[in-house]
A and B are shown apart, each in its own frame.
Chain A
Amino acid sequence: MTGFPGSEAIVAGIFLVAVATTVAGALIAALTTRIIRSVCGLALCCVGLAGLYYFLHSPFLALMEILIYVGAVCVTIVFAIMLAEPEESAAQEKRGTVWLGSAVGLVLGGAIFWGLARLGLAGPWSVPATRVTDGSVPALGVALLTTYSMAFELISLVLLVAILGALVIARTGRTQP
Protein backbone atom coordinates (compact mmCIF):
# COMPACT_ATOMS: atom_id res chain seq x y z
CA MET A 1 0.00 0.00 0.00
CA THR A 2 2.80 2.41 0.86
CA GLY A 3 5.06 4.05 -1.61
CA PHE A 4 2.64 4.51 -4.46
CA PRO A 5 1.89 8.24 -4.74
CA GLY A 6 -1.69 9.18 -4.04
CA SER A 7 -2.79 5.64 -3.19
CA GLU A 8 -4.96 6.82 -0.31
CA ALA A 9 -6.84 9.22 -2.56
CA ILE A 10 -7.37 6.46 -5.13
CA VAL A 11 -8.74 4.09 -2.46
CA ALA A 12 -11.05 6.81 -1.14
CA GLY A 13 -12.22 7.55 -4.68
CA ILE A 14 -13.02 3.89 -5.35
CA PHE A 15 -14.90 3.68 -2.06
CA LEU A 16 -16.95 6.75 -2.96
CA VAL A 17 -17.72 5.21 -6.36
CA ALA A 18 -18.96 2.04 -4.63
CA VAL A 19 -21.13 4.07 -2.23
CA ALA A 20 -22.55 6.15 -5.10
CA THR A 21 -23.31 3.01 -7.12
CA THR A 22 -25.18 1.47 -4.20
CA VAL A 23 -27.21 4.62 -3.49
CA ALA A 24 -28.03 5.21 -7.17
CA GLY A 25 -29.04 1.58 -7.67
CA ALA A 26 -31.32 1.63 -4.62
CA LEU A 27 -32.96 4.88 -5.77
CA ILE A 28 -33.51 3.52 -9.29
CA ALA A 29 -34.93 0.28 -7.87
CA ALA A 30 -37.41 2.11 -5.66
CA LEU A 31 -38.44 5.12 -7.76
CA THR A 32 -38.77 4.16 -11.43
CA THR A 33 -42.18 3.31 -12.80
CA ARG A 34 -41.14 0.66 -15.31
CA ILE A 35 -40.41 -2.56 -13.49
CA ILE A 36 -37.57 -3.67 -15.79
CA ARG A 37 -35.59 -0.55 -14.87
CA SER A 38 -36.21 -1.38 -11.26
CA VAL A 39 -34.51 -4.75 -11.74
CA CYS A 40 -31.56 -3.03 -13.42
CA GLY A 41 -31.36 -0.74 -10.39
CA LEU A 42 -31.29 -3.77 -8.10
CA ALA A 43 -28.42 -5.25 -10.13
CA LEU A 44 -26.51 -1.94 -9.94
CA CYS A 45 -27.11 -1.77 -6.20
CA CYS A 46 -25.74 -5.30 -5.78
CA VAL A 47 -22.59 -4.47 -7.76
CA GLY A 48 -22.02 -1.50 -5.44
CA LEU A 49 -22.63 -3.72 -2.42
CA ALA A 50 -20.02 -6.17 -3.70
CA GLY A 51 -17.53 -3.30 -3.75
CA LEU A 52 -18.46 -2.41 -0.17
CA TYR A 53 -17.99 -6.04 0.89
CA TYR A 54 -14.53 -5.92 -0.65
CA PHE A 55 -13.75 -2.89 1.50
CA LEU A 56 -15.04 -4.83 4.52
CA HIS A 57 -12.23 -7.42 4.06
CA SER A 58 -14.34 -10.20 2.58
CA PRO A 59 -13.59 -10.67 -1.12
CA PHE A 60 -15.29 -14.08 -1.10
CA LEU A 61 -18.63 -12.54 -0.22
CA ALA A 62 -18.12 -9.83 -2.84
CA LEU A 63 -17.80 -12.54 -5.49
CA MET A 64 -20.78 -14.42 -4.07
CA GLU A 65 -22.90 -11.25 -4.10
CA ILE A 66 -22.26 -10.73 -7.80
CA LEU A 67 -22.69 -14.43 -8.58
CA ILE A 68 -25.93 -14.95 -6.66
CA TYR A 69 -27.71 -11.58 -6.86
CA VAL A 70 -26.67 -10.21 -10.24
CA GLY A 71 -26.25 -13.60 -11.86
CA ALA A 72 -29.17 -15.55 -10.44
CA VAL A 73 -31.75 -13.41 -8.62
CA CYS A 74 -31.97 -10.53 -11.11
CA VAL A 75 -32.03 -12.87 -14.10
CA THR A 76 -34.83 -14.90 -12.50
CA ILE A 77 -36.84 -11.71 -11.85
CA VAL A 78 -36.31 -10.66 -15.48
CA PHE A 79 -37.71 -14.02 -16.61
CA ALA A 80 -40.76 -13.56 -14.36
CA ILE A 81 -41.29 -10.03 -15.77
CA MET A 82 -41.22 -11.38 -19.31
CA LEU A 83 -43.76 -14.06 -18.38
CA ALA A 84 -46.13 -11.88 -16.35
CA GLU A 85 -45.94 -8.39 -17.91
CA PRO A 86 -46.33 -6.40 -14.69
CA GLU A 87 -46.70 -2.93 -16.17
CA GLU A 88 -47.90 -0.34 -13.71
CA SER A 89 -50.24 2.01 -15.53
CA ALA A 90 -50.46 5.30 -13.70
CA ALA A 91 -53.75 6.30 -15.30
CA GLN A 92 -55.71 3.57 -13.53
CA GLU A 93 -55.26 5.01 -10.08
CA LYS A 94 -56.75 8.18 -8.74
CA ARG A 95 -54.32 11.00 -8.02
CA GLY A 96 -55.30 11.15 -4.37
CA THR A 97 -54.28 7.55 -3.75
CA VAL A 98 -50.94 8.09 -5.48
CA TRP A 99 -50.14 11.11 -3.35
CA LEU A 100 -51.27 9.37 -0.17
CA GLY A 101 -49.14 6.31 -0.95
CA SER A 102 -46.09 8.43 -1.68
CA ALA A 103 -46.56 10.50 1.47
CA VAL A 104 -46.98 7.44 3.69
CA GLY A 105 -43.92 5.80 2.11
CA LEU A 106 -41.80 8.93 2.47
CA VAL A 107 -42.76 9.50 6.10
CA LEU A 108 -42.18 5.84 6.97
CA GLY A 109 -38.89 5.64 5.12
CA GLY A 110 -37.65 8.95 6.50
CA ALA A 111 -38.50 7.99 10.07
CA ILE A 112 -36.75 4.62 9.69
CA PHE A 113 -33.69 6.21 8.12
CA TRP A 114 -33.45 8.92 10.76
CA GLY A 115 -33.87 6.51 13.66
CA LEU A 116 -31.48 3.86 12.38
CA ALA A 117 -28.80 6.35 11.33
CA ARG A 118 -29.01 8.07 14.70
CA LEU A 119 -28.72 4.75 16.53
CA GLY A 120 -25.81 3.64 14.38
CA LEU A 121 -23.87 6.87 14.81
CA ALA A 122 -24.54 7.29 18.53
CA GLY A 123 -24.05 3.79 19.86
CA PRO A 124 -20.88 2.99 21.81
CA TRP A 125 -19.32 0.34 19.58
CA SER A 126 -16.57 -1.45 21.46
CA VAL A 127 -13.61 -2.66 19.45
CA PRO A 128 -12.61 -6.21 20.48
CA ALA A 129 -9.21 -6.62 22.07
CA THR A 130 -8.29 -9.78 20.21
CA ARG A 131 -9.49 -11.43 17.05
CA VAL A 132 -10.00 -15.20 17.19
CA THR A 133 -9.56 -15.68 13.44
CA ASP A 134 -8.53 -13.35 10.65
CA GLY A 135 -11.74 -13.79 8.65
CA SER A 136 -9.92 -14.95 5.52
CA VAL A 137 -11.23 -17.50 3.07
CA PRO A 138 -9.42 -20.47 4.71
CA ALA A 139 -10.85 -19.48 8.11
CA LEU A 140 -14.29 -19.25 6.49
CA GLY A 141 -13.95 -22.74 5.02
CA VAL A 142 -12.79 -24.23 8.31
CA ALA A 143 -15.71 -22.64 10.18
CA LEU A 144 -18.19 -23.83 7.54
CA LEU A 145 -17.00 -27.44 7.76
CA THR A 146 -16.61 -27.64 11.55
CA THR A 147 -18.81 -25.33 13.61
CA TYR A 148 -21.51 -24.67 11.02
CA SER A 149 -21.49 -27.98 9.18
CA MET A 150 -25.05 -28.78 10.27
CA ALA A 151 -26.40 -25.44 8.97
CA PHE A 152 -24.36 -25.93 5.81
CA GLU A 153 -26.05 -29.28 5.15
CA LEU A 154 -29.46 -27.91 6.08
CA ILE A 155 -29.30 -25.03 3.63
CA SER A 156 -28.59 -27.43 0.78
CA LEU A 157 -31.76 -29.29 1.81
CA VAL A 158 -33.69 -25.98 1.92
CA LEU A 159 -32.50 -25.09 -1.59
CA LEU A 160 -33.51 -28.52 -2.90
CA VAL A 161 -36.98 -28.22 -1.37
CA ALA A 162 -37.30 -24.66 -2.73
CA ILE A 163 -36.46 -25.79 -6.28
CA LEU A 164 -38.96 -28.66 -6.11
CA GLY A 165 -41.63 -26.41 -4.58
CA ALA A 166 -41.11 -23.74 -7.23
CA LEU A 167 -41.51 -26.36 -9.97
CA VAL A 168 -44.68 -27.76 -8.41
CA ILE A 169 -46.29 -24.34 -7.86
CA ALA A 170 -45.43 -23.01 -11.31
CA ARG A 171 -46.67 -26.15 -13.07
CA THR A 172 -50.20 -26.23 -11.65
CA GLY A 173 -52.81 -24.61 -13.85
CA ARG A 174 -50.72 -25.05 -16.95
CA THR A 175 -52.76 -26.36 -19.84
CA GLN A 176 -51.70 -29.78 -20.99
CA PRO A 177 -50.77 -30.01 -24.68
Chain B
Amino acid sequence: MTLTNLHEQLGVYLVLAAFLFATGVYGLVRRRTLIGMLIAGELIFAAASLNLMALNRFVAPDPAVGQIFVLFIMGLAAAEVAIALSIVIAVYRNYRSVNAKDLSDLNG
Protein backbone atom coordinates (compact mmCIF):
# COMPACT_ATOMS: atom_id res chain seq x y z
CA MET B 1 0.00 0.00 0.00
CA THR B 2 1.79 3.06 -1.25
CA LEU B 3 0.57 6.62 -1.31
CA THR B 4 0.76 7.13 -5.06
CA ASN B 5 -1.65 4.37 -6.11
CA LEU B 6 -4.14 4.92 -3.33
CA HIS B 7 -6.96 5.29 -5.84
CA GLU B 8 -6.36 1.78 -7.17
CA GLN B 9 -7.06 0.05 -3.87
CA LEU B 10 -10.41 -1.38 -2.88
CA GLY B 11 -9.91 -0.95 0.85
CA VAL B 12 -9.77 2.84 0.71
CA TYR B 13 -13.20 3.04 -0.89
CA LEU B 14 -14.72 0.48 1.46
CA VAL B 15 -13.44 2.29 4.56
CA LEU B 16 -14.72 5.58 3.18
CA ALA B 17 -18.15 4.04 2.52
CA ALA B 18 -18.19 2.68 6.09
CA PHE B 19 -17.36 6.17 7.36
CA LEU B 20 -20.20 7.71 5.34
CA PHE B 21 -22.61 5.09 6.65
CA ALA B 22 -21.56 5.66 10.26
CA THR B 23 -21.93 9.43 9.82
CA GLY B 24 -25.40 8.92 8.38
CA VAL B 25 -26.44 6.70 11.29
CA TYR B 26 -25.08 9.25 13.79
CA GLY B 27 -27.04 12.02 12.09
CA LEU B 28 -30.17 9.88 12.01
CA VAL B 29 -29.94 9.31 15.77
CA ARG B 30 -28.91 12.85 16.60
CA ARG B 31 -31.20 15.00 14.46
CA ARG B 32 -34.50 16.15 15.88
CA THR B 33 -36.22 17.49 12.77
CA LEU B 34 -37.62 15.47 9.90
CA ILE B 35 -35.54 17.28 7.27
CA GLY B 36 -32.33 16.62 9.21
CA MET B 37 -33.18 12.93 9.34
CA LEU B 38 -33.81 13.00 5.58
CA ILE B 39 -30.34 14.48 4.98
CA ALA B 40 -28.76 11.76 7.14
CA GLY B 41 -30.68 9.18 5.11
CA GLU B 42 -29.19 10.63 1.93
CA LEU B 43 -25.72 10.11 3.43
CA ILE B 44 -26.58 6.44 3.96
CA PHE B 45 -27.74 6.19 0.33
CA ALA B 46 -24.40 7.71 -0.74
CA ALA B 47 -22.50 5.15 1.34
CA ALA B 48 -24.37 2.26 -0.28
CA SER B 49 -23.75 3.69 -3.75
CA LEU B 50 -20.03 4.14 -3.12
CA ASN B 51 -19.75 0.59 -1.80
CA LEU B 52 -21.49 -0.83 -4.87
CA MET B 53 -19.36 1.23 -7.23
CA ALA B 54 -16.09 0.18 -5.56
CA LEU B 55 -16.96 -3.52 -5.65
CA ASN B 56 -18.21 -3.08 -9.21
CA ARG B 57 -14.90 -1.59 -10.31
CA PHE B 58 -12.60 -4.11 -8.64
CA VAL B 59 -14.47 -7.40 -8.16
CA ALA B 60 -17.39 -7.71 -10.59
CA PRO B 61 -16.84 -9.46 -13.93
CA ASP B 62 -19.28 -7.11 -15.69
CA PRO B 63 -18.51 -3.47 -14.74
CA ALA B 64 -21.74 -2.16 -16.31
CA VAL B 65 -24.06 -3.87 -13.82
CA GLY B 66 -23.04 -1.91 -10.73
CA GLN B 67 -23.21 1.39 -12.58
CA ILE B 68 -26.77 0.66 -13.70
CA PHE B 69 -27.68 -0.38 -10.15
CA VAL B 70 -26.31 2.89 -8.75
CA LEU B 71 -28.17 4.80 -11.47
CA PHE B 72 -31.41 3.20 -10.31
CA ILE B 73 -30.53 3.98 -6.68
CA MET B 74 -30.17 7.64 -7.67
CA GLY B 75 -33.54 7.64 -9.41
CA LEU B 76 -35.27 6.01 -6.45
CA ALA B 77 -33.54 8.42 -4.03
CA ALA B 78 -34.83 11.37 -6.04
CA ALA B 79 -38.37 9.97 -5.95
CA GLU B 80 -38.04 9.29 -2.21
CA VAL B 81 -36.87 12.83 -1.50
CA ALA B 82 -39.78 14.31 -3.46
CA ILE B 83 -42.35 12.21 -1.56
CA ALA B 84 -40.70 12.72 1.85
CA LEU B 85 -40.48 16.49 1.44
CA SER B 86 -44.12 16.75 0.41
CA ILE B 87 -44.99 14.77 3.56
CA VAL B 88 -42.84 17.18 5.58
CA ILE B 89 -44.70 20.14 4.08
CA ALA B 90 -48.05 18.51 4.87
CA VAL B 91 -46.92 17.82 8.45
CA TYR B 92 -45.79 21.44 8.83
CA ARG B 93 -49.19 22.70 7.66
CA ASN B 94 -50.97 20.62 10.30
CA TYR B 95 -48.59 20.92 13.27
CA ARG B 96 -46.71 24.20 12.58
CA SER B 97 -43.50 22.29 13.38
CA VAL B 98 -41.29 19.60 11.87
CA ASN B 99 -39.74 18.48 15.15
CA ALA B 100 -40.06 14.74 15.56
CA LYS B 101 -40.92 15.27 19.23
CA ASP B 102 -44.04 17.29 18.47
CA LEU B 103 -45.66 14.61 16.31
CA SER B 104 -47.09 12.71 19.28
CA ASP B 105 -50.85 12.66 18.74
CA LEU B 106 -50.99 8.89 19.22
CA ASN B 107 -48.87 9.05 22.39
CA GLY B 108 -51.19 7.93 25.16
Contacts and interface: CB of A to CB of B under 8 A. Distances in A.
- Say whether A associates with B: yes
Contact of A12 (B7, B39, B92): B7
A96 B92 CA distance: 27
Contact of B63 (A69, A73, A121, A131): A131
A55 B7 contact: yes
A159 B81 CA distance: 11
A22 B79 contact: no
Interface string A55-72: 111101100110011001
Given A61-B67, A131-B63, A105 B81 contact: no
A58 B20 CA distance: 20
B79 A169 contact: no
Interface in A147-163: 148, 151, 155, 158-159, 162-163
Given A86-B36, A121-B11, A139-B64, A45 B43 contact: yes
Contacts of A101: 29-30
A166 to B, nearest CB: 4
A11 B3 CA distance: 11
A155 B62 contact: no
B35 A9 contact: no
A130 B61 contact: yes
Nearest to B14: A120
A72 B46 contact: no
Q: Chain A at the B interface: mostly helix, strand, loop or mixed?
A: helix
Nearest to A8: B4
A164 to B, nearest CB: 10
B83 A169 contact: yes
B67 A109 contact: no
Interface of A: 8-9, 11-12, 15-16, 19, 22-23, 26-27, 29-30, 35, 38-39, 42, 45-46, 49, 52-53, 55-58, 60-61, 64-65, 68-69, 72-73, 76-77, 79-81, 83-84, 86, 88, 93, 101-102, 104-106, 108-110, 112-113, 116-117, 120-121, 125-128, 130-135, 139-140, 143-144, 148, 151, 155, 158-159, 162-163, 165-167, 169-170, 172-174
15 contacts: A8-B5, A19-B16, A42-B39, A52-B16, A53-B53, A57-B57, A64-B74, A77-B38, A105-B30, A113-B18, A130-B61, A151-B72, A162-B80, A163-B82, A170-B90
Interface of B: 3-7, 10-27, 29-36, 38-40, 42-43, 46, 49-50, 53-65, 67-68, 70-72, 74-83, 85-90, 92-94, 98-99
